Chain A
Amino acid sequence: MTNVITEVSKYLMLIIMVIYTFFNFIAIGVRTEKRKKSLCAKQLFMVFLLLTLGYLIIILRKEDYTIAIFFAVQFVFYLAYYRLFIRFYKRASRLIISNSILLFGFGVMFLTRLDYTRAITQFSIGAAAFVVSMLIPVIIKKLPVLAKWAWLYAIVGIGLLAVVWRLGSTTYGAQLTLSLGPVAIQPSELVKISFVFFSASMFAKSRSFKQVFLTAIVAAVHVLILVASTDLGSGLVYFVSFLFMIFVATHKPGFFAAGIGAGAAAAVGAYAVFDHVRIRVKMWLDPFSDYENKGYQLAQSMFAISSGGWFGLGLCKGYPNSIPLARNDFIFSAIIEELGIIFACCLLLIYLGFLIQLFRVSTRIDGMFYQIIGVGLASMIGIQVFLHVGGVTRMIPSTGITLPLVSYGGSSVLSTMITIGVIQGLNIISDGMTAKQRAGAQEKELEAEAGGELIEQ
């Protein structure tokens, strides 16, 4: 009987995931509030259906019934979060809320399968992060002065990174965490946000060559400290998102190209200087050349992905824990192994839909500061997903980046939820108009003022 239920649930989960993904793309184009509301309600329903089926399989396979309570608590929490968010912020994007619940909820479910204790930790920290994300929009709305604090962001960001670099490296090796009493935080996750705020604030002030140059120098300091503390993956995330910000702020593809050039040169340099970079590249080319040691993780990841095939082995039927760090740096391979490539592609499409929504907010807001923030944060999430998935599937050398909202890791979830909070904030202060619509409205206003005296074009 267990077998029948788990097998049927496996295919049902896939179907639900496909429908959810489909709705996600439809929703981008929907204009009326009413349809948006009904779509999101459907999406949320599907999230709960998906999680119910997933937890059902896990409970049947693990025969641990406390998991049911865990799920019930989550259920109530997500529902409350959704209701409260909508109540506080009438103009919030429901789509972003349902996507964050899906990604995080799915992540916790999958962690429950991998490591129940860690899943509980993850949910506790995540719940706190969700609450934090509810406070962010009001801060964004009430404090336009946020745009003025460029140097504060720079000092805080660089300071935190430097502290980890000096202290973290002596106590934790390349762990990149900072111990504060019982909790260990990973500042490079949180500094991502101050980094984007810094760049946005600088570019909003001026796009003169001098300003761009100055901003680039400070950005480079961030990246170099990360490189020095051997967190090359984060360095790359910062770097790429900076490229997008500079591109949108200056409209100069030249800057972007120069950045890519500098990045390529830096990559070659890193390859020459750092042993671990050479090893990563070598293992990417042939994970079996040092199977027992350095290539083990990637080889296991490839085995997991290959075993999964199109439909996956089914929850709790694979061996995802044979991949070292399956819960964070390699979670996507574990997902593919048990849920299959089609499911994984849906997950990627959901991330893509999510990204498109984030970018869309930036096109419908007035003010360079907010636009750049939107672009910077969205591209950070996008590039993280790409580096994670590309890395674990051997499309590119692995960089040890977590999958936003899904991977285990408190700092990562907190940082992503703050990002989502900020973008909800942008959504709330957005006038919902593109530049063209806005200019149209202003012209109209002007004409009305002039009393139709001057009719031009």
Chain B
Amino acid sequence: MNNDDIKRDEIQRQQRKRIGAAVEDYMREDDDFEDVDTYIAPDPDEVFIKLCEDGSEKKPRLSGGDGHNPPGKPPAPSEEEINKRRREIRKELIKGKKIHRDIMISTYFFVALFVGIIAYLCYFTYSKSDEFLASEYNSKRQSVYADKYIRGDIKSIDGEILATTKTDDDGKETRVYPFKNVFAHAVGYSTKGNTGIESIGNSYLLGSHTALLSQALSELKNQKIQGDTVVSTIDSRLQKAAYEALDGQKGAVIAMEVKTGKVLLMVSRPDFDPNKINEIWDDMVSDESNSNLVNRATQGLYPPGSTFKILTLLEYIRENPDSYDSFSYDCDSIYENGEYSIRCSKQVSHGMQDLKTAFANSCNGAFAVVGQSLKLDSLYDLCESMGYNSAIDTQLLVSKTKYSLTKDNASLWDVLQTSIGQGGTLTTPLLNLLIVSAAANDGVMQKPYIIDHIENANGSTVKTFSPENGRKVMYASEAKILGEYLRAVVTEGTGGNAEGKGYSVAGKTGSAEWSKGQDTHAWFVGYAPFDDPEIAVSVVVENAGSGGGVAAPIARAVFDEYFGNN
């Protein structure tokens, strides 16, 4: 190794160091590389051609000027110049790599964004579009479907046909309801707008889940496609039993499975024959005194009367968890406070009452006292958590219930009245049903639903509706206490008429005053069997007398049918 070699090695080492330092400098400054800022892209075509030719081109691509390139045949570049240019190339490379990376990141961003939209569109079509199709506002397009599909059948869970479409030889379609008035409100009608299951299940009835190929073939032949069958949770036997029990009365009966929320029956009277809806329509709409078209089970607003005591009781237990069973009240049929007085039903003196007997006997005086001890805001919150002051979240068409007593607006009279379910409070049979079924289901309030599953025209199930997770509205311990109290109503209080042979019932009666000089609305809400609740029922009979006398037997008719006593 001679001196020259050593010298060259040394120079190269230094050069490496310098290059390394330059790169590091660059990395550190990152963005403020002012030295290359003046760069303007050369005509890339020219550069490209030159690059493709031999390496005789001497002009450094990255320098702004060409000062250090003497004209004519250039000499071989000096080491220093080569190193300088190499540094520049490296700098460009690092810069270029970063830009490349960032452009790729931007590209991936858009790929993710678009994949996201596509996923959303598919998700929407798969699981959300039915909701919009079924919307009551979507009348324009629903008529398009009526041209394409034969409206599907509606069946009860026990296999009876509740609605079907008959096509005559001329191709004219008629909707037929074999049960006539019995399912008038539950199934509804489909010619004057859609109501009931005809409305809730509309998108299934006017749609088909048979093989796409056979559908395409039908379209080719210009044939109508048979729509899907909607199978309701309603049992036609229970429906009939309730319908007959309510014969000659105005009112509603509704029942559901406490553990799932499946609606088992839904009757409202007075009613109508949906087969003749077009002929009777004008009379029905103009007749305001009977309101036959209104589904009283979900839309009828009634004062809850003594059935409200369930909530008064629950609030009292919550506020006095240790001492509620030491409550006592001596009833002499009338409770007086200043200028106000509260009477017990039928002027009965209940005598010495503890909380349970007062509840069982529905002693108004005792509950007027209980009510005055309660925190009104807390009672208000309890009522709202049960579903008062809102429309219940369900597919059914419901009315908004009302509970208005707060600390701000409470007069003594309001407090007394509200504690026993009078005052301004308004409920629906459905809400009362949900409250009592929550007590029956360890405090969990299930969401009521009325469509069990969808079958295609060939009879195979294409979609099943499952109970949604219910709302916990009270502790299981509270539900247990309520259960015992509700049981006492039937065993030793006003609700004895609700129980038949072979099953045990828990429930609450109510006789709601609604207008001076008129007979009370009769209420019964309850469930059975007491030990392992399966079915909850809510009954209201308008203008009919006492809950225990009129409504409880109707509930018993439903229980009898359910437990097979007939």
> Given A251, A432, A445, which contacts B98 in the complex, CB threshold below 8 Å?
A251
Which residues in A have their C-beta under 8 angstroms from that of B93?
A: 435-436, 438-439
Per-residue B-contact encoding for A335-369, CB less than 8 Å = 1, 0 else: 01000010011001101100110011011011111
Q: Is the CB of B125 within 8 A of A434?
A: no
Q: Is the CB of B114 within 8 A of A351?
A: yes
| Assembly CA distance A370 to B131 (angstroms) | 48
A69 within 8 A of B: no
- Asked whether A450 and B82 contact (CB < 8 A) given A250-B31, A359-B106, A366-B41, the answer is yes
| Assembly CA distance A456 to B16 (angstroms) | 9
B90 within 8 A of A: yes
Q: Is the CB of B133 within 8 A of A248?
A: no
Q: Is the CB of A449 within 8 A of B118?
A: no
- Asked whether A8 and B141 contact (CB < 8 A) given A435-B96, A454-B79, the answer is no
A134 within 8 A of B: no
Q: Within B354-394, which residues are at the interface with A (CB < 8 Å)?
A: none
Contact stretch, chosen from B45-53, B163-171, B415-423, B434-442: B45-53
Q: Is the CB of B57 within 8 A of A445?
A: yes
> Given A147, A252, A299, A395, which contacts B137 in the complex, CB threshold below 8 Å?
A299
Contact stretch, chosen from A70-78, A170-178, A203-211: A203-211
Closest A residue by C-beta to B203? A306
Interface magnitude class on chain A: 35 or more
Q: Is the CB of B135 within 8 A of A348?
A: no
Closest B residue by C-beta to A345? B118
> Given B56, B76, B133, which contacts A450 in the complex, CB threshold below 8 Å?
B76
A371 within 8 A of B: yes
Q: Is the CB of B118 within 8 A of A348?
A: yes
> Given B40, B51, B55, which contacts A147 in the complex, CB threshold below 8 Å?
B40
B285 within 8 A of A: no
Number of residues from B at the complex interface, CB < 8 A? 75
Q: Is the CB of A352 within 8 A of B111?
A: yes
> Given A7, A349, A363, which contacts B100 in the complex, CB threshold below 8 Å?
A363
Q: Within A423-457, which residues are at the interface with B (CB < 8 Å)?
A: 429-432, 434-436, 438-439, 441-451, 453-454, 456
Q: Tell me which of B58, B124, B132 has the highest count of chain A C-beta atoms within 10 A of its own C-beta.
A: B132
Per-residue A-contact encoding for B97-131, CB less than 8 Å = 1, 0 else: 11110111111001101100110111011001111
| Assembly CA distance A305 to B138 (angstroms) | 12
Interface of A is mostly: helix
Q: Is the CB of B44 within 8 A of A431?
A: yes
Distance (whole angstroms) from the CB of B62 to the closest CB of chain A? 9
Q: Is the CB of B114 within 8 A of A386?
A: yes
B412 within 8 A of A: no
Q: Is the CB of A345 within 8 A of B55?
A: no
Q: Within B66-104, which residues are at the interface with A (CB < 8 Å)?
A: 76-77, 79, 82-83, 85-86, 89-90, 92-93, 95-100, 102-104
Distance (whole angstroms) from the CB of B251 to the closest CB of chain A? 32
Which residues in B have their C-beta under 8 angstroms from that of A370?
A: 41
Q: Is the CB of B103 within 8 A of A362?
A: yes
Q: Is the CB of B135 within 8 A of A251?
A: no
Q: Is the CB of B32 within 8 A of A207?
A: yes
Q: Is the CB of B43 within 8 A of A429?
A: yes
Contact stretch, chosen from B216-224, B332-340, B397-405, B521-529: B216-224
| Assembly CA distance A453 to B85 (angstroms) | 15
> Given A144, A345, A365, which contacts B122 in the complex, CB threshold below 8 Å?
A345
A237 within 8 A of B: no
- Asked whether A443 and B106 contact (CB < 8 A) given A306-B133, A435-B97, A448-B54, the answer is no
Q: Is the CB of B98 within 8 A of A382?
A: no
Q: Tell me which of B97, B114, B124 has the highest count of chain A C-beta atoms within 10 A of its own C-beta.
A: B114
B192 within 8 A of A: no
Distance (whole angstroms) from the CB of B99 to the closest CB of chain A? 6
Which residues in A have their C-beta under 8 angstroms from that of B105?
A: 247
Q: Is the CB of B124 within 8 A of A248?
A: no
Which residues in A have their C-beta under 8 angstroms from that of B137?
A: 288, 291, 299, 303
- Asked whether A4 and B141 contact (CB < 8 A) given A208-B32, A386-B113, A386-B114, the answer is no
Q: Is the CB of A451 within 8 A of B125?
A: no
- Asked whether A352 and B41 contact (CB < 8 A) given A4-B220, A444-B55, A449-B76, the answer is no
> Given A4, A349, A359, which contacts B118 in the complex, CB threshold below 8 Å?
A349
| Assembly CA distance A208 to B29 (angstroms) | 10
> Given A7, A355, A366, A368, which contacts B216 in the complex, CB threshold below 8 Å?
A7
| Assembly CA distance A307 to B128 (angstroms) | 11
Q: Within A368-387, which residues are at the interface with B (CB < 8 Å)?
A: 368-371, 374-375, 378-379, 382, 385-386
Distance (whole angstroms) from the CB of A375 to the closest CB of chain B? 6
Q: Is the CB of B114 within 8 A of A349?
A: yes
B211 within 8 A of A: no
Closest B residue by C-beta to A429? B44
Q: Is the CB of B55 within 8 A of A449?
A: yes
| Assembly CA distance A288 to B132 (angstroms) | 11
A271 within 8 A of B: no
| Assembly CA distance A442 to B31 (angstroms) | 23
A149 within 8 A of B: no
Which residues in B have their C-beta under 8 angstroms from that of A303?
A: 132-133, 135, 137-138, 140-141
Which residues in A have their C-beta under 8 angstroms from that of B132?
A: 302-303, 305-306
A11 within 8 A of B: yes
Closest B residue by C-beta to A351? B114
Closest A residue by C-beta to B86? A446
Q: Within A169-215, which residues are at the interface with B (CB < 8 Å)?
A: 205-209
| Assembly CA distance A442 to B85 (angstroms) | 9
Q: Within A156-170, which residues are at the interface with B (CB < 8 Å)?
A: none
Q: Is the CB of A429 within 8 A of B45?
A: yes
- Asked whether A341 and B122 contact (CB < 8 A) given A307-B141, A435-B92, A446-B89, the answer is yes
B282 within 8 A of A: no
| Assembly CA distance A299 to B144 (angstroms) | 17
| Assembly CA distance A264 to B509 (angstroms) | 57
B158 within 8 A of A: no
| Assembly CA distance A144 to B16 (angstroms) | 36
> Given A366, A441, A446, which contacts B85 in the complex, CB threshold below 8 Å?
A446
Q: Is the CB of A395 within 8 A of B120?
A: yes
Distance (whole angstroms) from the CB of B525 to the closest CB of chain A? 32
| Assembly CA distance A247 to B108 (angstroms) | 14
Q: Is the CB of A442 within 8 A of B61?
A: yes
Distance (whole angstroms) from the CB of B327 to the closest CB of chain A? 46
| Assembly CA distance A363 to B32 (angstroms) | 22
| Assembly CA distance A356 to B103 (angstroms) | 10
- Asked whether A248 and B129 contact (CB < 8 A) given A3-B220, A341-B121, the answer is no
A418 within 8 A of B: no
| Assembly CA distance A336 to B102 (angstroms) | 34
Q: Is the CB of B103 within 8 A of A375?
A: yes
Q: Is the CB of B89 within 8 A of A434?
A: no
Distance (whole angstroms) from the CB of A249 to the closest CB of chain B? 8
| Assembly CA distance A322 to B139 (angstroms) | 12
A390 within 8 A of B: yes
Q: Tell me which of B106, B129, B212 has the highest count of chain A C-beta atoms within 10 A of its own C-beta.
A: B106
Which residues in A have their C-beta under 8 angstroms from that of B279?
A: none
A313 within 8 A of B: yes
Closest B residue by C-beta to A371? B99
Which residues in B have their C-beta under 8 angstroms from that of A367?
A: 39-41, 44
- Asked whether A348 and B117 contact (CB < 8 A) given A252-B31, A299-B137, the answer is yes
Cβ contacts A to B, 16 pairs, < 8 Å: A208-B31, A247-B102, A247-B105, A251-B102, A291-B137, A302-B132, A307-B133, A352-B111, A363-B103, A367-B41, A429-B44, A435-B97, A435-B99, A438-B92, A444-B55, A448-B55
Residues of B within 8 A of A (CB): 12, 16, 30-34, 37, 39-41, 43-45, 47-48, 51, 54-58, 61, 76-77, 79, 82-83, 85-86, 89-90, 92-93, 95-100, 102-107, 110-111, 113-114, 117-118, 120-122, 124-125, 128-133, 135, 137-138, 140-141, 144-145, 212, 216, 219-220, 222
Q: Known contacts A251-B102, A306-B125, A447-B55; can you find 4 more A-B pairs with CB under 8 A? A: A3-B220, A141-B45, A303-B137, A393-B117
- Please provide the 10 A-B residue pairs with the shortest distance between their CB atoms, ordered closest to farther: A435-B96, A448-B55, A367-B41, A306-B129, A439-B93, A306-B132, A359-B107, A248-B102, A352-B114, A431-B48
